[in-house]
């Protein structure tokens, strides 16, 4: 019988922590995107370019929408960096690794080939199953 508790291996803890950070940031990005959509729906004539020009010229106030868009941009950059860190920590590509994300076995993997059709993907994908 295969050992079913491989996901509890202590050597995987740094990867687990990085994946948890990645998932938390992903959730925060989604929440901020919803908030931005809500703000944009309240101000349908919002032009980010115009407000940015006003903000930097000193003639306009910094709008909450622009602040949130800037924060979203920073979060997306951080998300990309975390994704690269997770990928670098994975022992193999095109294969899932079992982890303990706090609620039983979960899996994470970086795929360049579709696992079902075995065709190369246009863009490699980090997958987290939890």
Going from N- to C-terminal start, the domains of the chain cover 11-129
The predicted-structure confidence for 80-102, as pLDDT tens digits, reads as follows 999 999 999 998 989 999 998 88
Cβ burial 69-101 (10 Å sphere, 16+ → b, else e): beebeebeeebeebbeebeebbeeeeebbbbbb
DSSP 8-state code for residue 119: P
pTM beyond 0.85: no
How crowded is residue 103: how many other Cβ atoms within 10 Å of its Cβ? 7
The predicted-structure confidence for 9-48, as pLDDT tens digits, reads as follows 788 899 999 999 999 999 999 999 999 888 888 776 655 5
Q: Please give the structure tokens belonging to residue 17.
A: 């922590």
């Amino acid at each position: 019988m295969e050992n079913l508790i491989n996901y509890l291996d202590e050597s995987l803890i740094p990867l687990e922590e990085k994946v948890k950070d990645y998932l938390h940031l992903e959730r925060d990005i989604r929440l901020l995107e919803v908030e931005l959509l809500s703000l944009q729906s309240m101000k349908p004539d919002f032009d980010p370019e115009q407000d940015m020009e006003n903000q930097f010229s000193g003639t306009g106030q910094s709008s909450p929408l622009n602040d949130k868009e800037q924060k979203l941009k920073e979060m997306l950059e951080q998300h990309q960096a975390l994704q690269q860190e997770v990928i670098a920590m994975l022992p193999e590509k095109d294969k899932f690794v079992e982890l303990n994300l706090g609620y039983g076995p979960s899996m994470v993997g970086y795929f360049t080939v579709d696992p079902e059709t075995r065709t190369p993907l246009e863009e490699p994908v980090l997958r987290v199953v939890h």
